[in-house]
Every structure is written in structure tokens, then in C-alpha cells.
Chain A
């Protein structure tokens, strides 16, 4: 049956959330034995398109065709039974169950009334061996490495006879060597006639793995071509759709000389070793590195959110920060990368969220709700937060407005040092620009800002100086004119002479 024709197609697919349309009629075709890459910036609509294809979300317009016939998958389960499997970036595995139990979860093999453990173990072992992952299938998933977990996910998909595999940034959490294993498996899956949708922010990777590429920008399809016809540079241009200089305000000049924060020999057990750096007044300091390099952990250690050792000096004076409260007292504030899990109370309204961090500013014996309302009105104006109502649950705000609210919450304690962790993750380009402008304004007014970002363009466009971390250590620093993508990547990957050490896996 599976000839050369397409197996799964999106035709003019539109998707709206409430009044906001995030996907404006996208076409996308998956063919057996081919890898079709989907690229675009965060918020371009990639996830939405993937979710529509995999039955996680119904489309608002257009249609999904499976073997040429229009289909409506009731849910992801229905799509899975048809052989369409989405592998999430954060895995969907039951951590406490064994690898084999996970592979057959919900589709257990039985012998009469009982589970046929032997057959399942046999099959699981075969599947994982084919994937070059010879692990003991009885191991709890929580004890596997990230790449092994990913292989278990793929084995799970194969056990369901997947014909279409949708992979959401599969290499984001992998080391270079682990990624190589994955690429080899993708080749094998192709040969076996599986159709693969592949997304990644690493464009050189796309050039290697994919057969064809589709570029999305702001919810619209801007290009589709064979991978030979489109260089990674061209992809980047199409993704962004304008000169990067438009996006970032001109960098402010010299930063002041006085060091407001100095961190020496800082250690966060299991994540960061002997990190030292200085931050000056009026400076925007970037932290670059691969996911898992320990950037977030370092900042959380400094903020008293994780147990850590080391010396922190605030304007020269040694301070001890054992809790976030003390960090705030010393003029530090941290904006988490995990907006929904750690940043906002999704079921509560804007006011409660805005003032949660700085609540003691609004309360004597009682909380002064009038003052809170006034602060909210001011924040809405200052940060251009757009909400249908001030009492709506913030979980219903768009990602960009959530982020602006979170920023407002963080700034409400009037910090002198602001640590922004992935400040523009998953938000649209317009809001990004506003946030960049705001960061610049902060620096101009004399605050010091640390920006952790995995988006290279952001680090380069925004920061005066960039510290690169790798495997829990500071691997190098670049500043001024030397802040280039190549310089950062070389340090992040450990290609630089001084930073070349035995990579210790964790």
C-alpha cells in the first residue's frame, strides 16, 4: 500500500486559540521513507502544526489527510492506533516503570488473562537492540540516560507499528555522540519506510538529516524545498524574515566600571563546578551554552533556590544567600525559564500573580488590595500586558502576555540585578522585541542584567559580554566585537584550546 505517495498531509490547516489564529493555512506532506524537516522560530507555529497532525488538537480550518483520505482523529490515541506517533521533547514515559513496561504501556501483550511478560521482554529487547541501545529492559526508566529514554520512546513508537514519526526537537537534550546514534537510527527508520517529521533549532543538523524542509514564520508557511536547494543560512533568513538588527535595539555604550555582583568559585553539587564571574552596573551579561550546561542551576544556586557553595559579593561585600527571600533583600531577582511550572499560578488572576513575589510591599497586617490594583494598572501600562480581564486566570493568557506579567512580577521588587532565564522562550516576535527593548532600558538606567538564552541570535544581539558554559563549567567568555556565533559555539562545544578537557558525562 505504502507506495511513493504521501501518507499524511496537512492541507491549508488553520488553528485558532480563542480569537487568536496561530496557524494561517499550512500545507505539509509526509512521505514514507523520507524525513521532512519543519523549521521556524519559537512561536512560529511548529508545535501547533505537529499537534494537529498527531491528533492532539483538532484543526480550526483546512484538513488532515491520511493515505489521501480526510481524517479527523478524535484524540492522540486514535492517531496512534493509525500509526502516527508524536515524540515529545519532554518524554512521555512513566518513570517508575521498567523500559519494557513503558514500551507496551496500554497495549500490553497477554496470554489469556495474564500479561505475557516473556513475549514482551523478548520483543522489547529486539526493538532496543535494533536501535543500538542494548539496555536491560527491566530497568526502571528513571535510571536511564536521556538518550536511552529517547530510544525507549522510539521503541515504544515502533512497537505500535508507527508509520509516521513526529519528532519534536529530539536532539535538544542529546550530546553530540548521542545525536549521532539518533541520526543512524533515523536512517534505518527511513529505510524501513517510516515517514518522519523532524524539528530542530540546529540548522546544520537539518541539512544532514532531512530530505526536504518547510519553513514557518509567524504561523504561515514561507518556503518549502528540497534540502539540497536550501542552505542553513537561507533557512535562518527565511525563519527570521528580517535583518536581526531590526529586532535588537542598538547596544548601549560602555558599561560602568563598578562591579555589582561577583561570584567566586561557585559550586552547585551535581550541576556546576568552580564558576566565577563578575557583573557590572549597566551591563547585559549573556550566559550561553547547550541545554544542561548548568546555566539555570548556577543562577538558581546564586538565588538560594538550590544548595550551593561559593562566595558571592554584592558591590564588594560578601553576602550569604540561603533563600530567595534573602536574594531579593540583596537586590537580586530571578525570572525562571519555566513560566508555567515555576513562574505563575495559572488558575489565579493577574493581581495575585503580580504581587506574589513582592507581597510584603503590599501588606502590613492585611494585604492592601487597592495598592495591588494600582500596581497592576501600572504594570499593565509599563509592560503592555494585554488581558481580556484582570481577573481571568493567567493560564488563559497568551505566552507573550504571561511572560510580560512574569517580568512585571520580577521587577516589582525593584531589583538592581535582574537574572532573566530564557526570557523569550515560546513567545512571538513582537513581544520579543518589546522584551529586548525593556532589557536595554534597564541596562541604560544602571541596573545589571544577566540573560540566559539558548537562542544564539538573542545572546549575540542583546549582550555586551557573553559567558559560555559547558558541562557545568565556565568554558570561556567573549565580549564586544568578539561576540559571534562561531566563537560561542566553539566554546560551548569545547572546541577551544583552553577549554578542551575530557567531557565528563553526567
Chain B
């Protein structure tokens, strides 16, 4: 008995540690690999580049962490972002005669973008909860709808932001505070807030409960539909936030804006250790997942070790590996 008692906790600790730290270990390995291959890897410029580029996906992926934790899925986020970007640009351009080409216009545009994000999330959520349609189907549908709408609005081409307004808006992507680019700051704020909400609030607990067993949640007096709807709206709002950061980057929206972002976001969530079937989610893991995906891309671009064309293949391997490790934990 004594031997057994001593053995068991040790074994358990080892396993849990590995699972919890898995994504971090992968991240550290990638950083070491990057450093050894290119001495510019850790330069401020490169780090900023990597993090700023991951910010859009990252902000969206924080929302996706909640959606997946409640046992849902949102495939529409990439198209939604393109649609929001398109409409926001139209609104901004239309507001110039009334509000002028300054910050007032941009602020109104930002608020409109957030509101539309909430609205789009509400649409997804209400169809899933009240319409009793599977999340996969609903968001596959809205994926098509949003994408097609932006193409239609752009008349098959590109929607461009007014050139003068672009100059005013530009710092939101290219500027920063204390030497840190705005997208990184916003990403960090969203991630920290997301982690706290997931871990410390009743809402976060309810998300995990619903994803773990919807019936138990219902019988525990949780308003399951309300929490679900709120989660899809949160996702929509975060897509809005990401879009606000994205518009000044290129100042345009087209049929290729936000293409496949949904898959990258889901991949990041899964690599981070959130369970695809729901019931367990961690935001910090998602952040690590986003950075891992971004680093792979970056390393391939900085070195000629492997063709950058193989980026997708390597990311694919990592996603599958992450899921295999997850299953390993469940079998334990």
C-alpha cells in the first residue's frame, strides 16, 4: 500500500505537467530553433512582425476558445471579418462629408464595426439556440453569406478606404505605445481579459459546464441558450475588434480578406489544449497556439531550410500532433 501510495501521485504529476506544458515546450523549441538558424530572429523588428501579424487571428482565436469550450464552432469568422471590413470602409467613406476626414469619423466607424460584429454573432447565436440548428451548419451558411456579400459590395473587386482617411487611421496598425505596436497591445489585453473571464468568472465556469455536459448545465439552473448566445456574440465582437485593427493595415477589403482565418483560429485553439468537443478551454494556450503557427511561418521565411511552400504541411502536422497528445491524456 505504502509503495503504491507513493508511486501514484508522482506518475500523475508527470502526466499533467506534460499536457499543460506541451504547447509551451513546443513554443520554446521553436524559439530556440529560430535563434540557431537566424541571428535576426529575436530582433525587435522580427518579433514585432511575428506578433503583430498574429494579432488578428489571435484576437479572433480568443473568441473561438470560448465558442469551442461551450461545445460549439464558428466557421464564419474569416468571412465575417471581410464583411465587417468592407462595410466599415463603406461607412467611413460615406461619413467623410458629414464628420470630415478625422478621428471622429474613424471612431464612429470603429463603433459601427463592433456593433456589426455583435450583430453578426447574434445572428449565428440565435440561429443555433432558438433555431436549433447545428453550429457547424449555421456558421457554414453564414460563412458563405458574409463572403458573398463582401464580394457583391465590392462588385467583385476591392473596397478601398479614402486615401486621406487612411493616413489618419494608419497608426492604429503601424503605430504603438512604448514601442509596442497597437495590434500587439490590443491582442495582449484581449488575451489577458479572456483568460480571466474563462478562469475566474461564473460565465467561464458555465461555458465549461455546457461544453462538458449540456444536460448537467441545464439541470444546474444555467440558462444554456443565453450563455451560448452570449458566446457567439462575444466571438462576433472580437471579430469586430480584429477587423478594426486590420482595416488600417491595407486600407482595403476584397474577396480574399480574412480567407481561411477560421481554420487558423480553430487550429490555434486546438494546439493550445482546448478540447475540440468542448468542456475545457484555456485562453493562454490559444495565445501560445497562435504564436506557434506564426513562428513556423516566420522561421520558414527567414531560413531556406525548408521551402516556405511547405508551411501549411508543417502546421498540419503540428495540429494533428496536438490532438494525439490530447487523446493521450484522456486515455490516462
Q: Confirm or deny: A328 has a beta carbon within 8 angstroms of a beta carbon on chain B.
A: yes
Contacts of A94 in B (CB 8 A): none
Asked, given contacts A363-B201, A367-B200, whether A343 binds B221 with beta carbons under 8 Å apart, the answer is no
Q: Which one, B178-186, B212-220, B307-315, is touching chain A?
A: B212-220
Q: Which of A323, A334, A345, A365 contacts B213 (CB 8 A)?
A: A345
Docked pose: A336 CA to B219 CA in angstroms: 8
Given A325-B223, A327-B221, A366-B200; A343-B216 close (CB under 8 Å) = yes
Contacts of B279 in A (CB 8 A): 345, 347
In the complex, are the beta carbons of A323 and B216 less than 8 A apart? no
CA distance A132 to B21 in the complex (A): 61
Q: Which residues of B contact A327 (CB under 8 A)?
A: 221
Instruction: Please pick, from B200, B215, B223, the residue contacting A342 in the complex, using a CB distance under 8 A.
Output: B215
Whether A359 sits at the interface, judged by CB under 8 Å, is yes
Cβ-neighbour of B201 out of A328, A346, A347, A365 (below 8 A): A365
The yes or no answer to A97 lying at the interface (CB within 8 A) is no
Asked whether, in the complex, the Cβ of A356 is within 8 Å of the Cβ of B209, the reply is yes
Contact present for B212 and A324 (CB under 8 Å): no
- Kindly list chain A residues whose C-beta atoms are within 8 Å of the C-beta of B200: 366-367
Q: Report chain B residues within 8 Å CB of A347.
A: 212, 279-280
Give 1 or 0 for each of B259-301: 1 = CB within 8 Å of chain A CB: 0000000000000000000011000000000000000000000
Quick one: which of B206, B222, B280 has the most chain A CB within 10 A? B222
Q: Does B215 lie within 8 Å of A341, measured CB to CB? A: yes
Question: A352 at interface (Cβ–Cβ under 8 A)?
Answer: yes
Q: Tell whether, in the assembled complex, residue B219 and residue A348 are in contact, meaning their CB atoms are under 8 Å apart.
A: no
User: B327 in the interface, Cβ–Cβ < 8 Å?
Assistant: no
A342-B215, A348-B212 as given contacts; A367 in contact with B223, CB under 8 Å: no
The majority secondary structure among interface residues of chain B is: helix
**A48–B219 CA distance with the chains assembled, in angstroms:** 29
If the complex has contacts A342-B216, A367-B202, A367-B205, are A357 and B221 also in contact, measured as CB distance less than 8 A?
yes
User: Known contacts being A345-B212, A347-B280, A356-B216, is A323 close to B201, with CB within 8 Å?
Assistant: no
Verify A344–B223 contact, CB threshold 8 A.
no
Summed over the interface, the residue pairs from A and B with CB atoms below 8 Å come to a total of 66
Whether a CB of chain B sits under 8 angstroms from the CB of A305 is yes
Identity of the chain A residue whose Cβ is nearest the Cβ of B200 in the assembled complex = A366
Given contacts A345-B209, A345-B216, contact A323 B202 (CB under 8 A): no
CB neighbours (8 Å) of A324 from chain B are: 218-221
User: Contact check: which of B196, B201, B205, B280 meets A356 at CB < 8 Å?
Assistant: B205
Interface check A204, CB cutoff 8 A: no
**Complex Cα gap A362–B201 (Å):** 10
Across the interface, B219 reaches (CB within 8 A) one of A343, A346, A363, A366, namely A343
A360 at the interface (CB under 8 A from B): yes
Q: Would you call B219 and A334 a contact (CB within 8 A)? A: yes
Query: Bound state CA distance, A328 and B218, in angstroms?
Result: 13
Checking B208, B213, B221 against A341 with a beta-carbon cut-off of 8 angstroms, the contacting residue is B213
Which chain A residues border B220 with CB–CB below 8 Å?
A: 324, 356-357, 409
Which residue of chain A has the shortest Cβ distance to B221 in the bound complex? A324
Residues in B whose Cβ lies below 8 Å from that of A336: 219
Instruction: List B contacts of A348 (CB < 8 A).
Output: 208, 212
> Are B216 and A367 within 8 A (Cβ)?
no
State how many angstroms separate the Cβ of A349 from the closest Cβ of chain B: 12
Indicate with 1 or 0, residue by residue over A298-327, a CB within 8 angstroms of chain B CB atoms: 000000010000000000000000011101
**Minimum C-beta distance from B2 to chain A (A):** 13
Whether the Cβ atoms of B223 and A323 lie closer than 8 Å is yes
CB distance from B283 to the nearest CB of A (A): 15
Chain A residues near B205: list those with CB within 8 A.
352, 356, 359, 367
Given that A347-B280, A359-B202, A359-B205 are known contacts, is A325 also in contact with B212, CB under 8 Å in the complex? no
Give the top 9 A-B pairs by smallest Cβ distance, nearest first: A324-B221, A366-B200, A363-B202, A356-B220, A325-B221, A357-B220, A342-B215, A342-B219, A345-B212
What are 21 of the A-B contact pairs (CB < 8 Å)? A305-B218, A323-B223, A324-B218, A325-B221, A325-B222, A334-B219, A338-B215, A341-B213, A341-B215, A342-B213, A344-B216, A347-B212, A347-B280, A352-B205, A352-B209, A356-B205, A360-B202, A362-B202, A363-B202, A367-B200, A367-B201
Binding site for A on B (CB under 8 A): 196, 200-202, 205-206, 208-209, 212-213, 215-223, 279-280
If A356-B220, A357-B220 are given as contacts, then 17 extra A-B residue pairs at C-beta distance below 8 Å, sorted by A number, are A305-B219, A324-B218, A324-B219, A341-B213, A341-B216, A342-B213, A345-B212, A345-B279, A346-B213, A347-B280, A356-B222, A359-B205, A362-B202, A363-B201, A363-B202, A366-B196, A367-B205
